[in-house]
Amino acid sequence: MSPSWQARAVAAIAGAVPDRVVARTLAKPSRRWELMPLVAPSVAERYEVDVTEIGAGRVATARPRSAGSSRHAFYLHGGAYTLGLTHWSVAEPLLDRGWTVSLVDYPLAPEHTVAETVPMVLDAWRSVTDGASGPVDVLGDSAGGGLALVVLQQIRDLALTRAGRAVLFSPWIDLVMSDPVTVESARHDPVLSLPGLRGAADLYAAGRDLADPLLSPIFGDLSGLGPVQVWVGTREMFLAQCCQLADLAAAEGVDGTEVDLRIAAGMIHDWSMLPIPEGRASLEQAIRFLG
Task: Express each pLDDT in 25-44 by its tens digit.
Answer: 666 664 555 556 788 888 88
Q: What is the pLDDT of residue 18?
A: 61
Please, what is the average pLDDT of the chain?
Answer: 91
| Tens of pLDDT, residues 192-218 | 999 999 999 999 999 999 999 999 999
Which residue would you say has higher pLDDT here, 131 or 115?
A: 115
Report, as an integer, the average pLDDT of 177-183.
94
For the chain, what's the residue count?
291
| Tens of pLDDT, residues 116-159 | 999 999 999 999 999 888 899 999 999 999 999 999 999 999 99
Kindly report the pTM of this predicted structure. Answer: 0.94
Residues acting as catalytic residues: 142, 236, 269
Domain ranges, ordered by start, for the chain: 5-290
Is residue 20 over pLDDT 90?
no
For residues 25 and 3, give the distance between their C-alpha atoms in angstroms, rounded to a whole number. Answer: 28
Name the percent of the chain lying above pLDDT 90: 77
Lowest mean pLDDT among 6-15, 116-125, 266-275, 278-287: 6-15
CATH superfamily, domain 5-290, is Alpha/Beta hydrolase fold, catalytic domain (3.40.50.1820)
| Tens of pLDDT, residues 220-273 | 999 999 999 999 999 999 999 999 999 999 998 899 999 999 999 999 999 999
The band of 5, judged by pLDDT with boundaries at 50, 70 and 90, is: confident
Q: What is the pLDDT of residue 98?
A: 93
Q: What is the pLDDT of residue 33?
A: 53
Peptide bond into 190 cis (omega under 30): no
Is residue 189 over pLDDT 70?
yes
The region that residue 98 occupies, defined by phi over 0 for left and psi between -120 and 50 for alpha, beta otherwise, is left
